[in-house]
Amino acid sequence: MFIVKINRERCKSCELCIEHCPRDLLELDDNLNARGVRPAVFRGESNGCIGCINCALMCPDAAIEIEEQQDEE
Ligand code: SF4
Ligand code: SF4
């Protein structure tokens, strides 16, 4: 299982990560960050993220980290 962590204060709401996720797992939050924009958020954990890291690679502000977690039995 992969967890996508987005640093919401770094995000500038360019939506590149959203456009390039093959599973459509990212969206803009309704709440603004300190920069006054809607940051990208990950839609949840057990939703089929394949860990392709497209989102992290596309982010011009290096706001995204991906962690692999072991599934619990
Ligand atoms: S790692 Fe890939 S599948 Fe997972 S959220 Fe990022 S772009 Fe989408
Ligand atoms: S690519 Fe980076 S800066 Fe752009 S919306 Fe996604 S997290 Fe925010």
Note the pLDDT of residue 45. 65
Mean pLDDT per 10-residue interval, the chain, length 73 residues? 94 98 96 97 82 97 93 64
Torsion sign over Cα 16, 24, 8, 38: positive
Residue with the two structure tokens 């939703």? 47
Instruction: Tell me how many degrees the CA angle 57-62-66 measures, rounded to the nearest 5.
Output: 65
Note the pLDDT of residue 7. 98
Which fold, 2-68?
Alpha-Beta Plaits (3.30.70)
Selection from 57, 19, 5, 14 nearest residue 35 by Cα: 14
Smallest CA separation from ligand 2 atom 6, residue: 17
Note the pLDDT of residue 48. 86
Ligand nearest to the CA of 41: 2
Cα of 73 from ligand 2 centre, angstroms: 33
Note the pLDDT of residue 6. 97
pTM of the model: 0.91
